[in-house]
Amino acid sequence: MANPSLLILAGDGIGPEVMDEVKKIITWFDAQGIVSFDVSEGLVGGCSYDAHGTPLTDETMARALEADAVLLGAVGGPKYDKLDFSVKPERGLLRLRKEMDLFSNLRPAQCFDALADFSSLKREVVAGLDIVIVRELTSGVYFGEPRGIFVEGNERVGINTQRYTESEIARVARSAFELARKRSNKVCSMEKANVMESGILWREVVQEIHDKEYPDVALTHMYADNGAMQLCRWPKQFDVIVTDNLFGDILSDMAAMLTGSLGMLPSASLGLPMENGRPKALYEPVHGSAPDITGMGKANPIACILSFAMALRYSFSLGDEASRVEKAVEKVLADGVRTADLMGPEGGSPVSTGQMGDAIIAAMQASL
């Protein structure tokens, strides 16, 4: 039986640095005889533009479609700001999401006890926080037509179209309900049905899917602006939140900062099952390419490592192995190991990117 395949697209900025720590963990699993992967690598984003004049080649796109899972680091950087919109690094990531049909984006926001004081909110508000935002990823205002900048009369007009079909809403709703069944059996759907027709349709379809297929899951509806306020007021009232592409982009970044650091947060983008039953999937840290610290060994690799843990769980059904990685991260943090972004006001000596990865592997080794 062939090993499961992983395509690694480390990307730009700190992407290669944090991905190196994931590679160490992949090597560790192989050395222990637990699981082996067929790993290949490719370019995406600015590095792909530098090499090929495009942020994602057709060949790399084809390899992504064939792989059992794709791991991505980060894309972009200021050196690419003046490129034409069509070849900006981010277009490579958007193409991956669109052509792999990765419609369900899972963004966990978990606050480890050791980091509860790093949040801008009070410890009692965020300690123990463990929620997931399920964001629709391949439709909505980011993809709707017509779009563009046009001239009307004597001025320019920018147009983006919010568009959703029933089937697009239904499939991401099912993704959220299925996830809720594995957690606390509770979903909150967020939209703007009070002012947007797309929001009305969103609410109606989510409710229909619930009533017909998931009546055992508790479902509530909330306007997205109120949802933003409630995430700041008392985030632990939520468990799974499902929302559209635009609101999901905003709400998931807000939820991310409740945990204290973007460097801690993973994500999974899932599509429909392939012939082997595995979903098409791309895993990536929430943080960006951080050009200001690139090459300095200061990057926090935990988000990328936890993204790999999500791949173990959702693409390869290796829940025990995913938990081993996650518990090692929790142990290292509880022991006070910190990269520079996690240093509190008391100061101290931060560890490097590589030292954090090594500490996590040591914790995994100790768990055997």
Task: Out of 238, 258, 278, pick the residue that ends a domain.
Answer: 258
Tokens representing residue 41 in the block? 């690598």
Q: Which of 326, 320, 319, 282 is nearest to 302 (CA)?
A: 326
- In degrees, rounded to 5, the angle at the alpha carbon of residue 117 between the alpha carbons of residues 113 and 120 is 125
Concerning whether 84 is annotated as a catalytic residue, the answer is no
Quick check: is 78 in a domain?
A: yes
User: Are residues 83 and 35 located together in one domain of the fold?
Assistant: yes
- Each of the 368 residues of the chain gets a pLDDT tens digit; together they read 689 999 999 999 999 999 999 999 999 999 999 999 999 999 999 999 999 999 999 999 999 999 999 999 999 999 999 999 899 999 999 999 989 999 999 999 998 888 888 888 899 999 889 999 999 999 999 999 999 999 999 999 999 999 999 999 999 999 999 999 999 999 999 999 999 999 999 999 999 999 999 999 999 999 999 999 999 999 999 999 999 999 999 999 888 888 877 778 899 999 988 877 888 999 999 889 999 999 999 999 999 999 999 999 999 999 999 999 999 999 999 999 999 988 866 656 899 999 999 999 999 999 88
User: Are residues 235 and 294 located together in one domain of the fold?
Assistant: no
User: Are residues 270 and 305 located together in one domain of the fold?
Assistant: yes
Determine which one of 186, 253, 327, 358 is catalytic: 253
User: Are residues 154 and 222 located together in one domain of the fold?
Assistant: yes
Concerning whether 164 is annotated as a catalytic residue, the answer is no
Other beta carbons within 10 angstroms of residue 308's beta carbon come to: 26
Quick check: is 150 in a domain?
A: yes
User: Are residues 254 and 283 located together in one domain of the fold?
Assistant: no
Range of the domain at 298: 1-111+261-368
Determine which one of 20, 30, 130, 225 is catalytic: 225
Give the domain CATH number at 71. Answer: 3.40.718.10
Taking the C-alpha atoms of residue 37 and residue 278, their distance in angstroms, rounded to an integer, is 15
Determine which one of 49, 80, 142, 314 is catalytic: 142
Concerning whether 192 is annotated as a catalytic residue, the answer is yes
Quick check: is 118 in a domain?
A: no
Task: Out of 258, 284, 300, pick the residue that ends a domain.
Answer: 258
Contact yes or no for 283/18 (Cβ under 8 A): no
Determine which one of 192, 280, 298, 331 is catalytic: 192
User: Are residues 80 and 99 located together in one domain of the fold?
Assistant: yes
User: Are residues 244 and 135 located together in one domain of the fold?
Assistant: yes
Q: How many domains does the chain have?
A: 2
User: Are residues 273 and 252 located together in one domain of the fold?
Assistant: no
Q: pTM for this one?
A: 0.90
Determine which one of 68, 249, 298, 341 is catalytic: 249
Task: Out of 200, 231, 258, pick the residue that ends a domain.
Answer: 258
User: Are residues 250 and 277 located together in one domain of the fold?
Assistant: no
Concerning whether 331 is annotated as a catalytic residue, the answer is no
Concerning whether 142 is annotated as a catalytic residue, the answer is yes
User: Which secondary-structure segment (H or E) carries 331?
Assistant: helix 319-334
User: Are residues 232 and 303 located together in one domain of the fold?
Assistant: no
Contacts of residue 35, defined as CB under 8 A and 6 or more positions apart, other chains included, come to 4, 29, 312, 316, 318, 321
Tokens representing residue 196 in the block? 């947007």
CA distances (Å), 283 to each of 147, 252, 277, 286, in order?
28, 15, 18, 10
As a whole number of Å, the CA-based R_g of the chain is 20
Tokens representing residue 329 in the block? 């991260």
Quick check: is 120 in a domain?
A: no
Quick check: is 236 in a domain?
A: yes
pLDDT digits (tens, 9 = 90+) for 199-239: 999 999 999 999 999 999 999 999 999 999 999 999 999 99
**Amino acid at position 129, single letter:** L
